[in-house]
Amino acid sequence: MTGTPSAQYSIVLRVEIDHKPGALGAVASAIGGAGGVIGDVALVSVAGDTLVRDITVSAGSQAVWEAIQQAINESPTAKVVAVTDRTFQVHEGGKLETTPKQPLKTRDDLAMAYTPGVARVCEAIADDVALSHELTIRKNTVAVVTDGTAVLGLGDIGPEASMPVMEGKAVLFKEFAGVDAFPIALATKDPDEIISIVKALAPTFGGINLEDISAPRCFEIEDRLKAELDIPVFHDDQHGTAIVTLAALINACKITGKRLEDLRVLVTGLGAAGIAVTKILLSAGVKDVIGADSRGLVSTQRPDYVDGTMNSVKRWYAEMSNPEGLTGHPGDHLGGRDLFVGLSGARIFPAEKLAAMNDDAMVFAMANPNPEVSPEEAAPYARIIATGRSDYPNQINNVLAFPGIFRGALDARATQITEGMKIAAANAIANLVAEEDLREDHIIPSVFDRDVAPAVAAAVAEEALATTRG
Ligand SMILES: NC(=O)c1ccc[n+]([C@@H]2O[C@H](COP(=O)([O-])OP(=O)(O)OC[C@H]3O[C@@H](n4cnc5c(N)ncnc54)[C@H](O)[C@@H]3O)[C@@H](O)[C@H]2O)c1
Ligand SMILES: O=C(O)C[C@H](O)C(=O)O
Ligand SMILES: [Mg+2]
């Protein structure tokens, strides 16, 4: 499905090559033979009989990267002298900086932007706090808040290690929707403490995007912050994912001719994303869903349900689904299912298990960075395949939702992101793929489609204003 190795292992090899015919060709063959794809080739220096070149290579994996180095070093006419990991280079010193919006060149500039003029603005806000949404960065700034407990599918890797993802989210906010976002990684996992810190930070921000906070704590944290703050609070892994999944499913059903009401669905991963996706599917008309966590299918027959140790969200799941009381590994319950939704972890069952699904099967394997089942292996068994990654077609990723959602909410000065706004966003995303353009490998717009965030923002703002008026 994807011919070029992923850029996640993009490297620059600095190679000393003998200055004689065929030597560069031998290096190119060594790279190709080991599985690398060559990008740029640049001459760095010439010293005597040796040329130094920088060769950019997509390696696809650490193993390929190592094999390429070994293959070049085995050639009698070339030697690798340095390797730069381009992905690490992108993260050097972080991915964001603060840039002033106003010039600060003259005494007057200073007197207005800072003291003494700034005091008049402070007093105006003190008299009317709502003005903070006009006269401070609050107008356009969102906090991306995590505790580092469910970072992608990497799990609880801690707040420091979560920052590259949070910085990435902030970059996406700005790039796609012009929203300034600030990453905040908290050194606490205690819900009460997280809630109190976020509440204390709220005067700085126009919205709070919660990110990669594990279930079930994320549900209470979001609910309480929504109730206690008058700015929008949105847990991206829940609702961003749910919105984009629904959009993709609406379009996938147009292709397969299946109706939401008739779908038989299996969800793996009953955390933030899996629970929210299930809820939006049910509210869109889906009736038959079963779900599994790392202990297998949830049901009222499971020992942790019976002994009362199952958490309340999974208890709800067990009661509303799976009337037959099925138990065991989800890979053994794909039979007769139309849609598989993976929001759990990498490679949880062999692809052949998908053969048991109904005709025109839809497989949304969305764990990041590696999906539940590889698209190449799933291809023989499914009509429609989607993942959360950018290097396969049909990227179902919450980046299609959160920038536009907050753009719309900030523009409308919404105080909440309601169910209606979420459904409006899902429809806006689905409608961006015109019916005549729908194909098995094109059920959802590209994350690079610059029309997505404005369309989502417009739909969200319109719904927010209609609710306020109505
Ligand atoms: N594509 C997207 O836009 C998107 C959005 C959000 C989350 N995700 C992915 O979904 C996954 C879960 O994220 P989350 O925020 O809900 O995390 P979470 O920690 O809240 O929940 C993880 C859930 O997965 C379950 N799980 C783990 N291993 C499993 C296995 N082998 N079989 C069945 N269930 C298993 C856990 O029991 C838990 O219920 C991650 O891989 C994440 O990257 C993707
Ligand atoms: O970060 C992503 O790419 C999507 C999602 O928020 C995730 O946690 O996997
Ligand atoms: Mg996330």
Q: Give per-residue pLDDT as tens, 284-309.
A: 999 999 999 999 999 999 999 999 99
Closest residue by Cα to atom 6, ligand 2, is 237
Average of pLDDT values for 15-30? 96
> Nearest-CA neighbor of 263 among 364, 351, 331?
364
Give residue-wise pLDDT tens across range 101-135.
999 999 999 999 999 999 999 999 999 999 999 99
From the alpha carbon of 237, which atom of ligand 2 is closest? Answer: 6
* Domains recognised in the chain with CATH numbers: 7-91 (3.30.70.260), 143-231 (3.40.50.10380), 237-470 (3.40.50.720)
Question: Rounded mean pLDDT of the chain?
Answer: 96
Asked if the model's pLDDT at residue 2 lies above 70, the reply is no
269 CA → ligand 1 middle, Å: 5
pLDDT at residue 3 above 60? no
**Residue to mutate, 156, 234, 293, ligand 1, most ligand atoms under 8 Å from C-beta:** 293
**What is the 3-state secondary structure of the chain?**
CCCCCCHHHEEEEEEEEECCCCHHHHHHHHHHHCCCEEEEEEEEEEECCEEEEEEEEECCCHHHHHHHHHHHHHCCCEEEEEEEEHHHHHHCCCCCCCCCCCCCCCHHHHHHHCCCHHHHHHHHHHHCHHHHHHHCHHHHEEEEEECCCCECCCECCCHHHHHHHHHHHHHHHHHHHCCEEEEEECCCCCHHHHHHHHHHHHHHCCEEEECCCCCCHHHHHHHHHHHHCCCCEEEHHHHHHHHHHHHHHHHHHHHHCCCHHHCEEEEECCCHHHHHHHHHHHHCCCCEEEEEECCEECCCCCHHHHCCCCCHHHHHHHHHCCCCCCCCCHHHHCCCCCEEEECCCCCCCCHHHHHHCCCCCEEEECCCCCCCCCHHHHHHHCCEEEECCCCCCCECCHHHCHHHHHHHHHHHCCCCCCHHHHHHHHHHHHHCCCHHHCECCECCCCCCCCCHHHHHHHHHHHHHHHHHHC
Active-site positions read 114, 169
Does 167 sit in the ligand 2 pocket, CB within 6 Å?
no
- Check pocket membership of 69 for ligand 2, CB cut-off 6 A: no
**Which residue's CA is minimally distant from atom 18 of ligand 1?**
271
Q: Which residues line ligand 1 (CB under 6 A)?
A: 150, 152-153, 214-215, 237, 241, 268-274, 292-294, 343-345, 348, 366-368, 388, 396-398
What confidence tier does 469 reach under pLDDT thresholds 50, 70, 90?
low
Whether 283 shows a pLDDT value over 60: the answer reads yes
Span 17-42, mean pLDDT?
Answer: 96
- Of all ligands present, the nearest one to the C-alpha of 370 is 1
Ligand showing the shortest atom-to-Cα distance for residue 401:
1
For the CA of 169, the nearest atom of ligand 2: 1
Model-level pTM? 0.94
Q: Does 444 score more than 60 pLDDT?
A: yes
How far is 79 from 292, CA to CA, in rounded Å?
A: 51
Residue 1 has pLDDT above 50, yes or no: no
pLDDT tens-place string over residues 39-96: 999 999 998 999 999 999 999 889 999 999 999 999 999 999 999 999 999 999 999 9
Asked if the model's pLDDT at residue 182 lies above 70, the reply is yes
Ligand 2: which of 214, 241, 391, 402 to mutate, most ligand atoms within 8 Å of CB? 241
0.95 surpassed by complex ipTM: yes
Please identify, by atom number, the ligand 1 atom nearest to the C-alpha of residue 387: 1
